[in-house]
Amino acid sequence: MARKSSGSMQQASISEFFEKNKHFLGFDTLPRSIITAVKEAVDNALDAAEEHRILPEIKVEIRKIPGKKDELIMISQDNGPGIGRKALGKAFGSLLFGSRFHTIRQTRGQQGIGITGVVMYSQLTTGKPTKVISKVPTKINRTTGELENELAISVDIGLDTKKNKAITTGEKRLHWKDEVTDLPIEHGLRIEARMKAKYQRGKQSVHQYLKMTSIVNPHASIQFKVVDEEGQVIEEASWPRVTDELPEPVKEIKPHPRGMEIGTLQRMLRDAKIPSEGDGSRTPLRYFIAESFSSVPRTRAIKICETAGISQSRQPKSLKPDEVSALLNAFKTVRISDPPTNCLSPIKDLLIKKGLSKAIDSRFVSTITREPKVSNGNPFQVEVGLIFGGDLPADQPIQVLRFANRVPLMYQQGGCLLTKALESVKWKQYGLDHPGGRGIPKGPAAILIHLASTNVQFTSEAKEALSENEDVSKELEQAMKEVGRGLRNHLKKSVQKKKAQEKFELVNIILPEIHDKTIGILNADPVPLAPVITKIMNAVFLEERIEWDSEHKLTRASIDLYNYTARPRAYTLLSTWPEREGVEMVENPLGGRREARGLWGWKLETIEPGNSVTVSFAVNGLSKGDWSDLDVFFRGAGDIIGATKLDEVILAEMLREEDAGIEREETIDHPEESVDRENQQPDVGPMDEVVSNNVEEAEPPTNPQDIMSWTTKEEDE
């Protein structure tokens, strides 16, 4: 075949490419297209609101068009900061335009493709532009003292795919009011996009996407409705916020040397800014390394230059290819501490529980937020929540809820790293039906899997499945085993309690009847039954409960311990509680002491046979439903039905982890001092050396609520 001449060859723009390959962006089928459009609008709304510290309020509406089969109008409205007039065209009409592509921090959108892809698809399938109404907050002009931005701007936006440029028409200013309350809207954004699409219900629907979004964004209020051709609402749902606590602001970090590739390093060296002449306090290459990368203090920069065999006075632009390779190898050889992890914003255990419990009825929830880790210089954090019982079907595969940076993943479940990690765990030993140990287990359960990362690696531009990563996979497996242990112990404790309760009730019903009939026949005096019942039961039984005190805004916990044995007993009871900033333990009559973060202990006096003792305390700083279950451990001889014997080794490891966490916080505040101390060695956590050899044995639970779920590797196998 003859090769075409250069005169016939043309360069396609990025917009033209995606116009012909819209399936890359998630617009490959009609049902999927409407989900993708809603997803891009909602993701942008959440990101914008959080960045400006606004509690998100999002409304999504789908309107069917009379006489037009499979043609819909997607409407999304939020209360975010809005977009200024000059930036509207860029934001909605230029692919790869955005504020997040060059930043290293956790965000939902990264590529600058999403919402412009919606505009492009709308135009491609219906020929119609997308209508945008934007209102930025009103402000006072300091010079004139007059109000500015009182009016919202309305504009129709299309896309010139050849130039990758917006086409704007019908621009006007207007007073924007809420359709329901008729009150002025202070700030926000409204998008109306007409497109070829098909709305359907089920597991892969807009309704399911918004429901999943509400679970991992408990601070957001989301409303949804579908309107038919006659203007009648045929479906409606709302997910109110369950917390006023916004996610912690994420901070942008610099790239880390460990994740650097040679092409990227060459570009950075070419673009390096050299200090002005006369500044003799820093040498150029040393300055470049220390200022361009995270976790590299001045002393480490000098060491890197020495290891690479390159003079620290060299200008970065002058390095040759073999010297760049030597510098890259030095990054891997010289010990450099991990990058800071304040660029991540995990959901956290309490809010995962609240989100899951709000969306799914259940009897048990186990959650784990793992400590941040680093893969190829990119910080990431894994969270898993498992919900069990309630109305969930027992004869079907468990529900799998996948998320990346708080965004639901709706498609390609089988090819996703999160699913593969789930399938690698032997769930049968944790109480779920797992035929052959393959695939997704069965049972009345749902599992939430969330990856927070500065660099989520998707399998395609549609961002629907995660690609393979060994470091992330190991963390996911560890997290799932921890929530699995929590489920196993919950089921074991439930069975023990049920059997003990049945035995106790049986004895208390039958024995008094036998006693009454016997003394009636023998004409004898009554005898005390408590010692006899105690001897038959021969067990120490524990019951715990948590109640919300609406009058005093307190969460009250009580633990009742019954001695149904023939001899006195003495124990130390330990209970988990939600220890965190703004939460404190109050009304604690027995006092006790703090054993570890989130773990409180009470040494009990001798409990005589047939007697009981109650431990009670209250916690303030929480809202109703924030804390609904606790785990109880004990020290002492013999077993307690309903509690777990404390493993002192695990407690010691927890305390070491807590100390290491304090050191990590100090490292973030003073990274240079932390890395330079002790002969210029970076901080190493107490478990770091062991982890590299055997992850399962080396890592005890870092969350005190999961002590009871910790078992040895041999027990799991």
509 part of a folded domain: no
pLDDT band at 110, cuts 50/70/90? very low
- Shared domain for 220 and 265, answered yes or no, is no
400 part of a folded domain: yes
The CATH number covering residue 279 comes to 1.10.8.50
Strands 139-140 and 165-174: unpaired
339 part of a folded domain: no
For 661-689, write each residue's pLDDT tens digit: 555 555 444 444 444 433 333 333 332 33
- Shared domain for 624 and 668, answered yes or no, is no
The conformation of residue 410, written as its DSSP 8-state character, comes to -
2 part of a folded domain: no
The CATH number covering residue 143 comes to 3.30.565.10
147 part of a folded domain: yes
- Shared domain for 425 and 567, answered yes or no, is no
Tokens of 92: 């909605």
- Shared domain for 433 and 301, answered yes or no, is no
338 part of a folded domain: no
388-397, 490-499, 611-620, 628-637 — which is least confidently predicted? 490-499
Give yes or no for a contact between 631 and 616, defined as CB atoms under 8 angstroms apart. no
Give yes or no for a contact between 35 and 195, defined as CB atoms under 8 angstroms apart. no
Among the three residues 489, 518, 547, which one is the final residue of a domain in this structure?
489
Q: Which residues contact 506 (CB under 8 A, 6 or more apart)?
A: none
Higher-pLDDT residue of 9 and 517 is: 517
708 part of a folded domain: no
pLDDT at 258: 77
**Averaged pLDDT, 648-652:** 75
- Shared domain for 416 and 541, answered yes or no, is no
User: Alpha carbon of 630 to those of 366, 480, 625, 708: distances in Å?
Assistant: 11, 20, 13, 11
Distance of CA 112 to the CA centre of its chain: 22
The count of structural domains within the chain is 5
513 part of a folded domain: no
Q: Domain range for residue 477?
A: 349-489
Among the three residues 599, 615, 646, which one is the final residue of a domain in this structure?
646
- Shared domain for 389 and 286, answered yes or no, is no
For 567-605, write each residue's pLDDT tens digit: 899 999 999 898 888 899 999 999 999 988 888 999 998
- Shared domain for 675 and 610, answered yes or no, is no
- Shared domain for 555 and 666, answered yes or no, is no
For 369-383, write each residue's pLDDT tens digit: 888 888 877 888 899
Closest CA to 45 of 86, 97, 82: 82
Q: Which amino acid is at 462?
A: A
Burial of 139 (0-12, 13-18, 19+ CB in 10 A): exposed
- Shared domain for 128 and 203, answered yes or no, is yes
The CATH number covering residue 570 comes to 2.60.40.1170
- Shared domain for 178 and 68, answered yes or no, is yes
Number of other residues whose CB lies within 10 A of the CB of residue 62: 22
Closest CA to 108 of 184, 49, 174: 49
For 239-261, write each residue's pLDDT tens digit: 998 888 888 887 888 888 877 77
Look up the pTM and report it. Answer: 0.66
pLDDT at 404: 87
The conformation of residue 512, written as its DSSP 8-state character, comes to H
- Shared domain for 656 and 639, answered yes or no, is no
* Whole-angstrom distance, CA of residue 135 vs CA of residue 186: 7
- Shared domain for 300 and 390, answered yes or no, is no
The CATH number covering residue 401 comes to 3.30.230.10
* Whole-angstrom distance, CA of residue 88 vs CA of residue 98: 11
* Whole-angstrom distance, CA of residue 234 vs CA of residue 58: 19
Among the three residues 646, 673, 692, which one is the final residue of a domain in this structure?
646
Higher-pLDDT residue of 498 and 10 is: 498
Instruction: Output the average pLDDT for the chain.
Output: 79
User: Alpha carbon of 187 to those of 48, 305, 533: distances in Å?
Assistant: 12, 51, 69
